[in-house]
Chains A and B, each alone.
Chain A
Amino acid sequence: GAVVSQHPSRVICKSGTSVKIECRSLDFQATTMFWYRQFPKKSLMLMATSNEGSKATYEQGVEKDKFLINHASLTLSTLTVTSAHPEDSSFYICSAITADGGDSPLHFGNGTRLTVT
C-alpha cells in the first residue's frame, strides 16, 4: 500500500534555529500534500496545502514566513520552521493523496515531534 514517510520522527532544537521536516511519498506521486499541527492532547489543525511546483496555500492564521513549505518534486514536500520558539513545539503530520482512489486515498506520515528548548 501507499506509504508516506516523515523525517525526522523527533527533533529537539534550540530557540532561534530553523528545523526542516521532510514528507515523502515512497511509492506514489503526490501532487498535493497537506501539513497538520497537533498540540498535546489536542486535535489536528490544518496548516497548509502543499502543491508540487507552486506556492503553498496557507490556512488563516498560519504565518507563511514562519512555516516555509516547499514541494519541489512529486514525492517530496518540506516544512521548515524558521527561527523556532518554544511555542512552536508540537507534533507535525503530513498527508498525501494517491490517485488510485479507493476508500483510503489519503495517507498520513507518522509525524514529527518537535521540541524547541
Chain B
Amino acid sequence: AQKVTQAQTEISVVEKEDVTLDCVYETRDTTYYLFWYKQPPSGELVFLIRRNSFDEQNEISGRYSWNFQKSTSSFNFTITASQVVDSAVYFCALSEPSGYYKLSFGAGTTVTVRA
C-alpha cells in the first residue's frame, strides 16, 4: 500500500535557522514520483519539486535542497536560512501505482518561522 509519513507535525524556528523536513514513503512500485508542495495560509498548493524514482541526485534550488535516498525510502527537504515567508504547511506526496499524478499525501509539517 502507498504510504507517506511526515513524522514532524510542527516545527518552529527563528529566522535564519535551517530547518529539515523528513519524509519517508512506502511503495511496491519500482517507478514512481515524489513531490513536495508548500501550502501557505491562503490555501493554495505551491509546487516545489518532483523527483522520479530513478533519479537519486540531490537537488538544490536557492535556499531549498532535497535529499533523496532510495535505500531508506526517504525524501527529505531542507530550507536553509529560513525566512518568515517560509511559514507554511509542507506536504510530501507519492504518486499512485495507477497514475503518476494521483497523489498520496503525507500529513504535512507546519513550519513557523519567527522573526
Contacts and interface: CB of A to CB of B under 8 A. Distances in A.
Is the contact region of chain B dominated by helix, strand, or loop, or is it mixed? strand
A34 B105 contact: no
A111 B44 contact: yes
A58 B39 CA distance: 25
Interface size class of B (residues with CB under 8 A): 20 to 34
Is the contact region of chain A dominated by helix, strand, or loop, or is it mixed? strand
A45 B42 CA distance: 19
Interface string B18-34: 00000000000000000
A104 B99 contact: no
A110 B91 contact: no
Given A41-B110, A46-B104, A111-B44, 17 more contacts: A32-B101, A34-B101, A34-B102, A36-B105, A43-B106, A43-B107, A44-B91, A45-B105, A46-B103, A93-B45, A103-B47, A104-B50, A106-B47, A107-B47, A108-B45, A110-B44, A111-B45
Interface of A: 32, 34, 36, 41-46, 49, 91, 93, 95, 97, 103-111, 113
Interface of B: 35, 37, 42-45, 47, 49-50, 91, 96, 99, 101-108, 110
